[in-house]
Amino acid sequence: MREPSMNRLIRTLVAGCAALAFCGPAAAAHGIALGATPKYPPGFTHFDYVNPDAPKGGELYMSNLGSFDKLNPFTLKGTSPAGMTDLMFDTLVVQSDDEPLSIYGLLAEDMQLARDGLSITFRLNAKARFSNGDPVTAADVKYSYDMLISKAASPIYRAMLTDVKAIVAVDARTVRFEFKRRNRDLHMIVGQLAIFSRKWGDGKPFEKITLEPPIASGPYVIDRMDLGKNITYRRDLNYWAAQIPARRGMYNYDRVSFRFYKDELVRLEAFKAGEFDFNHENVAKNWARGYTGPKFARGEIIKRELTHRNPQGMQGYIFNLRRPLFQDVRVRKALALAMDFEWMNRQLFYNQYTRTYSFFTNSDMAARDAPTAAELKLLEPVRKYLEPAVFGAVEPQPTTTPPNSLRENLRQARELLTAAGWTYRDGAVRNARGEPFEFEMLIDRRSWERVVAPFARSLEKLGIQVRYRVLDAALYSKRIEDFDFDIMVHWFLSSQSPGNELFLRFASDNADEKGSHNLMGLKNPGIDRLVQAALTAESRDDLVTACRALDRALLAGHYMIPHWHNTVHRVAYKNRFGIPQQQPLYYQPDDWMLKAWWVKPEGP
């Protein structure tokens, strides 16, 4: 499953600093590493995880679940096709995938971060062109930004860019972003916004641009499509950036086609039948039992686990705190006790997973043991807003490993529910008004049914009724955008150095903004203060401290029921591709495949 484009943007916005947060260069530079020297020096020719001499040609067939009904990926209404933001829209800068701290010029020839961190200036490459041949100008950059922060676009952009004071087109090739306050990540974010032409839509209001192909600056243009079913992108033979360092050896296919499927099992069978070339598998049962057959035995399809060093963030069941049912922490904790991870790992996941333990799993930001003195300096001033458990050792996730058991966990859950005013009578857990405890679990694919079912059975033992619904991608997205759910499955991606995504996910300001990433509806002044501490951290140590303190507050609030994680990417692909010898470190496999692999030429 490919990540939504906004999640991929957030994932790539990894910034941090080993020393001062705003220690950017005084002069214009080819790249910026916060508090360090970029791995790739001026004059570098390509990233190490690509083959600079990769041959061009061939067609790549990919898949996606769901459908699409528009060609504007930036508006809230509707669904845009997979691949569009990656293939069609270039950005001012890009981040390398083998270091967590550096950005390099793409549309921008160079960049200059002010020493006070209150502005960044980009000078555009004179060769930069849109797909219609027009030069990319500072006015286009400003137009793109203005559209993205307007009410015509998804509100996620306004939330993400709230600290931008102004954007100034200094001259035709120079643009400056000015900030309201110092923010460690903001110059990284503005540099990675998609840039498109002012001529796109021919003067229509931005929200009315729906089926007009974008006039963008990326390596591909739309070749053909069958709305909602498939789309093919064609490599732009006049792509201006094909030989610049940040793009050399990348985007090697002549065409990239996406086929859309309604069901995950159908998609897997279609892959084995040869309808598309590459599959990133997230379902343990499928990986253990589904990737077999003559084509695998003959080596026509390769099954492989790719190592990575990605922080794993937090996947889990999210409570919608806007629902009165979930506003008591004792209720949320009781429901978490009913999930038997160990049984699921044995019976459903073939022991492929490890229990997730943090909102920053697999990174230095995860809270451990009891809070340090530095963490307490942040936590004590907001103690009244936080759960008492924040100030002790991090509580382990519930387990059924002996001598623990599901029976004992359910007994504890019953006690918590009783304390919260929910008692068992007349065949159900009921509140003082006699209303039964019941809710809906929203899921977007049938493969989740077998995961949700044992959880629902455990809750039934408590007298709680769970209904779970599988929705198609469009309706699911609409329900989530409107916060019309009780509990849902979600994955909060993390980075090496968390930043503005924390504000988007956990700040009170975003709780009521439809389409925002504050899915749980969290409104907690203490957590707001901890998020701000992370965003204004002046050193790497300060950032780690702030994130660990925030992690404690989120875990103790039981706003999610943590799931599980894996430290390899499980992929299968047709044996027709060339692959760079060196892997990136921080990446998603379908992104790397799309960017850096190539079709092997036929013949000897």
* Token pair 């991606």: residue: 493
Single-letter residue type at 188: M
Rounded to whole angstroms, the Cα distance separating 416 from 1 reads: 37
In this structure, whether the domain defined by 5-268+567-599 belongs to CATH 3.40.190.10 is answered with yes
Beta bridge partner(s), residue 574: 301
Q: Which two tokens stand for residue 163?
A: 């600290």
Q: Please state, as a whole number, how many other Cβ atoms lie within 10 Å of the Cβ of residue 165.
A: 12
Question: Model-level pTM?
Answer: 0.77
- The answer to whether 565 touches 315, Cβ cutoff 8 Å, is yes
Crossing angle (nearest 10°) for helices 525-535 and 540-556: 160
- Looking only at the bridges linking them, the beta strands covering 438-443 and 465-470 are parallel
Within 523-588, where are the H helices? 525-535, 540-556
* Token pair 């930001």: residue: 365
Q: Please state, as a whole number, how many other Cβ atoms lie within 10 Å of the Cβ of residue 535.
A: 23
Vertex 522, ends 518 and 528: CA angle to 5°? Answer: 95
pLDDT of residue 474: 84
The three-class DSSP label of residue 177 is: strand
Rounded to whole angstroms, the Cα distance separating 127 from 130 reads: 10
pLDDT of residue 21: 39
The per-type count for the chain, helices as H runs and strands as E runs, is: 18, 25
For residues 430-464, b (16+ Cβ closer than 10 Å) or e, as one string?
beeeeeebebebbbbbebbeebbebbbebbeebbb
Rounded to whole angstroms, the Cα distance separating 118 from 496 reads: 23
Does residue 70 come out as left (phi exceeding 0), alpha (psi in the -120 to 50 range) or beta? Answer: beta
Distances (CA, A) of 373 to 332, 350, 477, 513: 29, 41, 42, 36
- Phi, psi angle pair for 436, to nearest 5°: -75, 155
Question: What DSSP line would sit under 11-50, residue for residue?
Answer: HH-----SS-TT---SS-BSEEETTS--SSPTT--S-TTS
Q: Please state, as a whole number, how many other Cβ atoms lie within 10 Å of the Cβ of residue 389.
A: 17
End-to-end CA distance of the chain: 35
Beta bridge partner(s), residue 317: 489, 561
Q: Which two tokens stand for residue 122?
A: 């980009």
Q: Please state, as a whole number, how many other Cβ atoms lie within 10 Å of the Cβ of residue 10.
A: 26
CA dihedral 589, 591, 596, 601 (to 10 degrees): 80
- The answer to whether 594 touches 60, Cβ cutoff 8 Å, is yes
Q: Residue by residue, what is the 3-state secondary structure of 290-352?
A: HCCCHHHHCCCEEEEEEECCCCCEEEEEEECCCCHHHCCHHHHHHHHHCCCHHHHHHHCCCCC
Vertex 281, ends 277 and 285: CA angle to 5°? Answer: 130
Fold of 314-565: Dipeptide-binding Protein; domain 3 (3.10.105)
pLDDT of residue 426: 92
Q: What is the mean pLDDT of each run of 10 residues along the chain (604 residues)?
A: 41 35 62 82 97 97 95 94 96 92 94 93 98 98 97 91 96 97 85 97 94 96 96 97 97 98 92 97 90 96 93 95 97 98 95 95 93 98 97 96 96 97 95 96 90 96 94 89 95 85 93 92 98 88 95 98 94 98 94 97 72
Rounded to whole angstroms, the Cα distance separating 269 from 271 reads: 5
Cα-trace Rg, the chain = 24
pLDDT of residue 17: 33
Rounded to whole angstroms, the Cα distance separating 257 from 60 reads: 6
- The answer to whether 5 touches 85, Cβ cutoff 8 Å, is yes
Burial class of residue 376 (count of CB atoms within 10 Å of its CB; 0-12, 13-18, 19+): middle
The three-class DSSP label of residue 208 is: helix
pLDDT of residue 16: 34
Map out the domains of the chain as residue ranges.
Answer: 5-268+567-599, 314-565
